[in-house]
A and B are shown apart, each in its own frame.
Chain A
Amino acid sequence: MSMLSVIMDAANNLAPFAKMGAGMGAGLAAIGAGIGIGRIGGSAMDAIARQPEALGDIRSNMIVAAALVEGVAFFAIVVCLLILFI
């Protein structure tokens, strides 16, 4: 019986679980950003290896694409911050 009441209590008071969810969400966003930007960096390395004289163009395009992907990851961060602080 006491275990049931503990579970009922946990089900009623879900605020700590919301915080845990926010933490996990932020971690998943970091994984997504890491994978995305890692792929961008990898393709940039391949492209530079193929054609070293295009270094400048490739570098600036890589940085732009990385900033855009990071923007998407920041959406998730903003949602997690909203959960934690509002």
Chain B
Amino acid sequence: MKGYKHHISRLLFLIVLIFSCSILFAGEAESAKTNKEKPKGDSLNVGTMILEHIADAHEWHIMTIGTTEVTIPLPVILYDNGKISVFCSCQFNHGETAYQGYKIETEGENKGKIVRVLDDGTVDKTAALPLDLSITKNTMSIFICLLILCVIFISIARRYSRNPNKAPSGFQAMLEVLILFIRDDIVQPSIGKKYEKYMPYLLTLFFFIFFCNLLGLIPFFPGGANITGNIAITMVLAIFTFIITSFSAKKSYWVHLVNTPGVPWWLKLPIPIMPIVEIIGVITKPFVLMVRLFANITAGHIIVLGFIGLIFIFGKMNVGIGYGTSVVSVAFSVFMGLLELLVAFLQAYVFTLLSSLYFGMASEEHEHHVENHTNH
């Protein structure tokens, strides 16, 4: 029945292609929103649409039906010189009105941030920006990711503790493969004997980054927020790695920063080139971790959004070309989506691998004294 299977696989491919058109509809809703903001022309600004999808926001925009926007309003929490204000972001009316002396700035260098307004409605340019502790779209999405992580892992841990000798089944089996992969191929070779101390942090890191990346790929509600593409979040993860590296570093690590073994003396003494390089390295390593994750995920999102935006650019010229481009664009978007799946896993893997390598290098036992003496 070889012909039968051939037709089934073709049908499956077509079904996947058609369902991926849901990304198309999400893009169309967004472009309608940007069209509303520029009523005078029919200028669809794809650049603005892409930036709006990538950036954080004070409300979660689901879709735009006609002229009404369906959004989930999120709480706004501001701390301004001792005064704490908590209110719903629906009071801002999608960025149009001011409320309680604050509004979302629409132009200039503070665009998108909450600024203080004076009583007559103009922006108070002399006041500092209030400290914005709101639950924004990214924060809400982190909570959703945490919920998913807790539900999955607490249920798996419970299954392990109740039946410690039973073979794993179902979801537990799939995650056990990943956890063992992290333990045996990433953490244990890098850190050595004392790897169990670092396992909780590294496991959490891997699964948090992996699930956040995956959630960012889903175009509709609980997913769709660009979490790991927010440089503040990757900066926090990199700072955690940096703090744990510094605190688990043995004395020999710090001594080697200044007096690197195996390096000729003239690189260290009159002009300390090697110590400067090593100290810059201490700062650069977490910084690179931060930028790598941020750039990979954001670039992936921008590419998919760009392909969808291409449909509307061509559609404006000629409706027929728009429909034609949509086939090509959707096919490319599916391909990019698959690539993004690989990138989601790979970036989590690389972040965890490099973190465990840094921990291993910092907590390494000092074994090189014998070598040094024989070299002299």
Say yes or no: B291 contacts A78, CB within 8 Å. Answer: yes
Nearest A residue to B296 by beta-carbon distance?
A: A74
Smallest CB-CB separation from B289: which chain A residue? A71
What are the interface flags for B342-353 relative to A under an 8 Å C-beta threshold, 1 for contact and 0 otherwise?
000011011001
Interface residues on A, range: 10 to 19
- Interface flag for B86 (CB, 8 Å): no
The one of B51, B291, B353 in contact with A75, judged by C-beta atoms closer than 8 angstroms, is: B291
Q: Which residues of chain A are within 8 angstroms of B350 by Cβ–Cβ distance? A: 64, 67-68, 71
For B346, the chain A residues whose CB sits under 8 A away are: 63, 67
Kindly supply a per-residue 1/0 record for chain A positions 48-65, scoring 1 wherever the CB is within 8 Å of any chain B CB and 0 otherwise.
000000000000100110
B353 and A85 contacting across the interface, CB-CB below 8 Å: no
Residue in B51, B185, B291 whose CB lies within 8 Å of A71? B291
With a cutoff of 8 Å between Cβ atoms, the chain B residues found around residue A78 in the complex are 291, 294-295
CA distance A64 to B288 in the complex (A): 15
Give bound CA distance, A11 to B287, whole Å: 36
Count: A-B pairs, CB below 8 Å: 31
A66 CB, min distance to chain B CBs, angstroms:
9
| Least CB separation from B293: chain A residue | A71
> Once the chains are docked, how many angstroms separate the CA of A71 from the CA of B350?
10
**What's the least CB distance linking B56 to chain A, in Å?**
15
Q: Given A71-B288, A85-B51, A64–B353 Cβ distance below 8 Å?
A: yes
Q: Which residues of B contact A74 (CB under 8 A)?
A: 291-292, 295-296, 299
* B window 182-229: CB within 8 A of A: 185
Question: Which chain A residues border B296 with CB–CB below 8 Å?
Answer: 70-71, 74
Which residues of A come within 8 Å of B, CB atoms? 60, 63-64, 67-68, 70-71, 74-75, 77-78, 85
Chain B residues in the interface with A (C-beta under 8 A) = 51, 185, 288, 291-292, 294-296, 299, 346-347, 349-350, 353
